[in-house]
Amino acid sequence: AQSVAQPEDQVNVAEGNPLTVKCTYSVSGNPYLFWYVQYPNRGLQFLLKYITGDNLVKGSYGFEAEFNKSQTSFHLKKPSALVSDSALYFCAVRDDNFNKFYFGSGTKLNVKP
Amino acid sequence: DAGVIQSPRHEVTEMGQEVTLRCKPISGHNSLFWYRQTMMRGLELLIYFNNNVPIDDSGMPEDRFSAKMPNASFSTLKIQPSEPRDSAVYFCASSSYRATEAFFGQGTRLTVV
């Protein structure tokens, strides 16, 4: 079965500190992995994706994510958090066979000044 | 491209009335997805189309919900009759096949009173 897990409902971090938002996945076939961000009263915005190649993927707004095949993880990271990064973050996997997107439950990131 | 366009942005209706939500996907995209987002259930996939054909509607909650995609540039999600528990934000998203990301519209906030 295809699935995505975001084990933390909420992550709190101080501005300037590094942040990590966790994601693990389960999918048959090749995993296509994505991160999205949602600000209040807005749609989901694409941040970055892993398709193939280098395990460290760089995306928008200074975010990056590391693909780890052995741990089936795709954690989102940023070296130095900003207050403006506070939002809801979703991890997603797209199944190569069915083309569906499976989204995690979301993690609320709070960055405090 | 203007992105995925949804209308209306907000809809307030009385219980029992018919509601129609509209979506214009990004030109050239093959896949279209309808999602519903609530606090309790998070982001739920309702239905998705490939090349205007419904592929998986297992997420459609009841027969009161129906979706159509008469051509590559337009889709509707209809609820008839509407109920208060249908109150949610409904998102439309589109993408190309396989390894590409989905782009989301701004959503329609539906309130059924």
Q: Evaluate whether A60 touches A5 at the Cβ level (below 8 Å).
A: no
Q: Evaluate whether A36 touches A92 at the Cβ level (below 8 Å).
A: yes
Q: Evaluate whether A104 touches A36 at the Cβ level (below 8 Å).
A: no
Residue of A34, A42, A105 lying closest to B101 (CB–CB): A34
Q: Does B98 reach chain A within 8 Å, measured CB to CB?
A: yes
| Per-residue pLDDT tens over the stretch B71-93 | 999 999 999 999 999 999 999 99
pLDDT at A98: 66
Q: How far is B15 from chain A (nearest CA, A)?
A: 24
- DSSP sequence for B98-113: TTSPPEE---EEEEE-
| Per-residue pLDDT tens over the stretch A7-48 | 999 999 999 999 999 999 998 888 899 999 999 989 999 999
Which stretches of chain A are assigned E, i.e. beta strand? 3-5, 10-14, 19-21, 24-26, 31-38, 44-50, 56-58, 64-68, 73-78, 87-95, 101-103, 107-112
- DSSP sequence for B29-89: --EEEEEEEETTTEEEEEEEEETTEEEE-TT--STTEEEEEEETTEEEEEESS--GGG-EE
pLDDT at B3: 94
A62-78 average pLDDT score = 96
CA B39, CA A6: separation in Å to the nearest integer? 16
Q: Residues for chain A: how many in total?
A: 113
pLDDT at B99: 63
Q: Cβ separation of A100 and B105 shorter than 8 Å?
A: no
* Residue that the structure tokens 């009263």 belong to: A41
Residue numbers of chain B with a pLDDT score lower than 50: none
Which residues in chain B have Cβ-Cβ distances shorter than 8 Å to A49?
99, 101
pLDDT at A45: 96
Q: Cβ separation of B91 and A44 shorter than 8 Å?
A: yes
pLDDT at B1: 65
pLDDT at B31: 93
Show which of residues 37-76 on chain A sit within 8 Å of chain B, judged by CB atoms. Answer: 42-46, 49, 51
Q: Cβ separation of B104 and A34 shorter than 8 Å?
A: no
pLDDT at B97: 73
* Residue that the structure tokens 């939002």 belong to: A87
The mean predicted confidence, pLDDT, of chain A is: 93
Question: Looking at this protein, which amino acid is placed at residue B7?
Answer: S
CA A3, CA A78: separation in Å to the nearest integer? 24
Which residues in chain B have Cβ-Cβ distances shorter than 8 Å to A45?
104
Query: How would residue A96 be classed by pLDDT, with cut points 50, 70 and 90?
Result: confident
pLDDT at A17: 98
